[in-house]
Amino acid sequence: VSTSLQSRMDLDVVNMFVIAGGTLAIPILAFVASFLLWPSALIRIYYWYWRRTLGMQVRYVHHEDYQFCYSFRGRPGHKPSILMLHGFSAHKDMWLSVVKFLPKNLHLVCVDMPGHEGTTRSSMDDLSIYGQVKRIHQFVECLKLNKKPFHLVGTSMGGHVAGVYAAYYPSDVCSLSLVCPAGLEYPTDNQFVQRLKELQASSTIEKIPLIPSTPEEMSEMLQLCSYVRFKVPQQILQGLVDVRIPHNDFYRKLFLEIVSEKSRYALHQNMDKIKAPTQIIWGKQDQVLDVSGADTLAKSIANCQVELLENCGHSVVMERPRKTAKLIVDFLAALHNTDNNKKLD
Total Cβ atoms within 10 A of residue 162: 29
The verdict on whether 314 is a catalytic residue reads yes
Return the ∠ at Cα 115 (arms to 70 and 275), rounded to 5°: 65
Task: Please report which residue ranges of the chain form alpha helices under DSSP H.
Answer: 2-37, 39-54, 96-99, 129-143, 157-168, 191-201, 215-225, 234-244, 248-258, 266-270, 293-300, 316-319, 321-344
One-letter amino acid at 152 equals L
Would you say 39 and 26 are in contact if contact means Cβ atoms under 8 Å apart? Answer: no
State the catalytic residue, choosing from 93, 112, 125, 286.
Answer: 286
The verdict on whether 330 is a catalytic residue reads no
Dist CA 33 CA 124 (whole Å): 40
Burial class (CB in 10 A: 0-12, 13-18, 19+), 77: exposed
Task: State how far Cα 236 lies from the chain centre.
Answer: 19
The verdict on whether 156 is a catalytic residue reads yes
Dist CA 151 CA 168 (whole Å): 15
Would you say 210 and 255 are in contact if contact means Cβ atoms under 8 Å apart? Answer: yes
Dist CA 124 CA 179 (whole Å): 29
Write phi, then psi, for 150 (nearest 5 degrees): -115, 165
The residues that bridge with 73 in the sheet, in sequence order, are 108
Task: Tell which residue, 75, 53, 85, 99, has the closest CA to residue 164.
Answer: 85
State the catalytic residue, choosing from 107, 116, 160, 314.
Answer: 314
The residues that bridge with 280 in the sheet, in sequence order, are 178, 306
Dist CA 288 CA 240 (whole Å): 20
- The CA-atom distances, in angstroms, between 91 and each of 23, 34, 69, 158, 324 are 36, 23, 10, 10, 18
State the catalytic residue, choosing from 89, 97, 156, 315.
Answer: 156
Q: Which residues are catalytic?
A: 156, 286, 314
